[in-house]
């Protein structure tokens, strides 16, 4: 979608979008449009019970002689509660309506309410951001009928702060493109996006200045990554470890590091899943997709930080060569793991990826993202990601970034009592901890491979995709969760 920011008064053809605050009078562009329509907007509001509550939408056909084809009232909610998240959701609600029509162009002519705690430039830029996120579609494999095609191609935002809005939009557009990229990865079918193909797409970041290295199975075996390699040994597609480096900070400055679980398809292995839980397991690489999306964002906006992204890419399949329950593997750290359930494979992938990251790059901190446990859905549903950490400051910063970006997280505990649940009688640990506190014992497992580095684990199994109600800013199955919150974390605390 083409986005432009212009000074007020240049409304052209297409839909005209005006804003209305909850319980407030029509002001600015909305008041002008009401006068030009002979009071039609106010009458339409009265008969439709449109009150201007947040993300409420009302469409009215424009009168004869108007440049616009229709006028769309966008509810802003209460002015003193208007922030960037509310602006984005309201814009997404409007664009969601327009996407089902035949409009090719929409103009947002909305004045910032006086009591809103947001600048005119940020208001305009986040209107565009919400609209663009909502307009995402994944229809690569669909023969679309003419009457179902997306027609909305141009978005114009009128603002007195057009120049400043363009500067803000420069970073937001890079973020939006990277969220699209992450969503595309998760939406791809596993017969297309297997480990080697995923790694090849990650190498495409080199065009933006990201250094990318890909380790194959012999290279990983030489390093002792038997936990990661073991997960994929039953697949016809060899495993990969992709290592991305963005050096936008000072030379020699300690990097920040992000590690992603990239199970391109998860059958459960020998501990085979039932058919229903296996549906959607093409998305079991949502953590790796978020890491790639983040690294793309940092490079695209020239972030002043040194950052490392490491993703373990495997396919977990049942085969004569697949690892078995009761097998014992020696991880890169030297610690041994008793495999009791081959469907608890993501933590095995991350164990070697985390150890590799901390030993090679000596990062300031490590954050891993993984669609790790179904138990996190039981605990938190689909609204929050689970956060586990050995560092309070890092946790607080992640939680703050999550609130500000509309990707909330909830911290859960770690402790020795949970750690005892993964003790093995014949190895250093086992890969499952029993029926209780499954997300916590999985995090305890990962903590054994961070070697004291400040670390946070984000269990995103409930938020990486959506099987139920579709959220306005995430219109597809894949959400791209994690790119926003981690980009915000870096921007607020770790850039030079």
Choose, from 105, 183, 347, 448, the residue flagged as catalytic: 347
- Catalytic residue list contains 153: no
CA max distance for the chain: 82
The dihedrals phi and psi of 392, each to the nearest 5 degrees, come to -70, -40
For 209: left if phi > 0, alpha if psi spans -120 to 50, otherwise beta; the answer is left
| Dist. CA 471–CA 315, nearest whole Å | 29
Count of CB atoms situated within 10 Å of the CB of 338: 20
Q: Beta-carbon neighbour count of residue 114 at 10 Å?
A: 9
Shortest CA distance to 479 belongs to which of 353, 383, 377?
383
First to last CA, the chain: 32
Tokens standing for 71?
Answer: 């006028």
Give the closest residue to 212 by CA, choosing from 239, 244, 241: 244
| Catalytic residue flag (residue 207) | no
Query: What distances in angstroms separate CA 368 from CA 37, 272, 478, one per listed residue?
Result: 55, 26, 19
The answer for residues whose C-beta is within 8 angstroms of residue 308's C-beta and 6 or more apart is 243, 244, 245, 246, 255, 256, 257, 258, 357, 361, 363
CA distance 363 to 342: 30
Q: How many residues appear in the chain?
A: 496
**CA distances, 132 to each of 139, 176, 288, 333, 371 (Å):** 16, 7, 23, 44, 26
Give the single-character DSSP code of 467.
Answer: S
Could you tell me which of 213, 242, 241 has the C-alpha nearest to residue 227? 241
Q: Which of 78, 273, 302, 304 is catalytic?
A: 273
What whole-number distance in Å separates Cα of residue 366 and Cα of residue 289? 17
Q: Give the CA radius of gyration of the chain.
A: 24
d(CA 308, CA 367): 11
Strands 385-389 and 455-459: antiparallel
3-state secondary structure of 378: helix
Handedness of CA 371, 373, 379, 381 (dihedral sign): positive
Q: Report which secondary-structure segment, H or E, holds 277.
A: helix 275-278
Q: Give me the active site residues, please.
A: 273, 347
């Amino acid at each position: 979608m083409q986005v432009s920011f212009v000074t007020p008064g240049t409304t052209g053809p297409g839909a005209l979008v005006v804003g209305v605050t909850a319980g407030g009078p029509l002001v600015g562009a909305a008041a002008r449009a009401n006068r030009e329509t002979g009071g039609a907007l106010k009458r339409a509001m009265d008969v439709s019970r449109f009150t201007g509550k947040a993300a409420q939408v009302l469409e009215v056909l424009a009168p004869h002689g108007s440049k616009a084809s229709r006028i769309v009232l966008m509810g802003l909610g209460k002015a003193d509660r208007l922030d960037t998240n509310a602006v984005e959701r309201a814009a997404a609600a409007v664009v969601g309506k327009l996407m089902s029509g035949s409009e090719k162009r929409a103009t947002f002519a909305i004045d910032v309410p006086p009591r809103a705690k947001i600048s005119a430039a940020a208001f305009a830029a986040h209107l565009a951001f919400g609209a663009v996120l909502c307009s995402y579609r994944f229809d690569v494999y669909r023969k679309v009928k003419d009457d179902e095609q997306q027609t909305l191609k141009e978005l114009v935002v009128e603002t007195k702060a057009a120049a400043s809005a363009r500067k803000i939009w420069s970073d937001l557009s890079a973020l939006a493109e990277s969220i699209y990229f992450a969503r595309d990865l998760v939406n791809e079918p596993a017969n297309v996006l297997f480990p080697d193909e995923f790694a090849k797409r990650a190498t495409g970041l080199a065009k933006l200045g990201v250094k990318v290295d890909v380790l194959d199975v012999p290279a990983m075996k030489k390093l002792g990554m038997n936990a990661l390699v073991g997960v994929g040994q039953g697949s016809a597609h060899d495993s990969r470890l992709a290592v991305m480096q963005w050096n936008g900070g000072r030379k020699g400055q300690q990097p920040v590091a992000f590690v992603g679980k990239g199970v391109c398809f998860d059958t459960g292995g020998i501990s085979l899943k039932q058919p229903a839980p296996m549906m959607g397991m093409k998305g079991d690489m949502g953590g790796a997709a978020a890491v790639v999306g983040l690294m793309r964002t940092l490079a695209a906006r020239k972030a002043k930080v040194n950052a490392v992204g490491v993703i373990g890419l495997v396919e977990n399949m049942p085969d004569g060569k697949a690892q078995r329950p009761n097998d014992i593997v020696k991880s890169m750290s030297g610690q041994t793991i008793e495999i009791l359930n081959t469907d608890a494979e993501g933590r095995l992938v991350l164990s070697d990826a985390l150890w590799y990251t901390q030993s090679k790059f000596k990062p300031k901190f490590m954050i891993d993202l993984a669609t790790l446990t179904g138990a996190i859905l039981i605990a938190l549903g689909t609204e929050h990601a689970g956060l586990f950490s050995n560092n309070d400051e890092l946790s607080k910063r992640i939680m703050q970034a999550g609130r500000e970006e509309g990707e909330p997280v909830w911290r859960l505990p770690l402790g020795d009592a949970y750690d005892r649940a993964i003790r093995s009688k014949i190895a250093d640990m086992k890969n499952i901890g029993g029926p209780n506190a499954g997300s916590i014992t999985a995090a305890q497992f990962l903590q054994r491979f961070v070697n004291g580095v400040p670390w946070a684990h984000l269990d995103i199994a409930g938020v990486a995709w959506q099987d139920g109600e579709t959220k306005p800013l995430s219109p597809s199955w894949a959400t791209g969760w994690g790119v926003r919150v981690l980009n915000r974390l870096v921007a607020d605390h770790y850039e030079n």
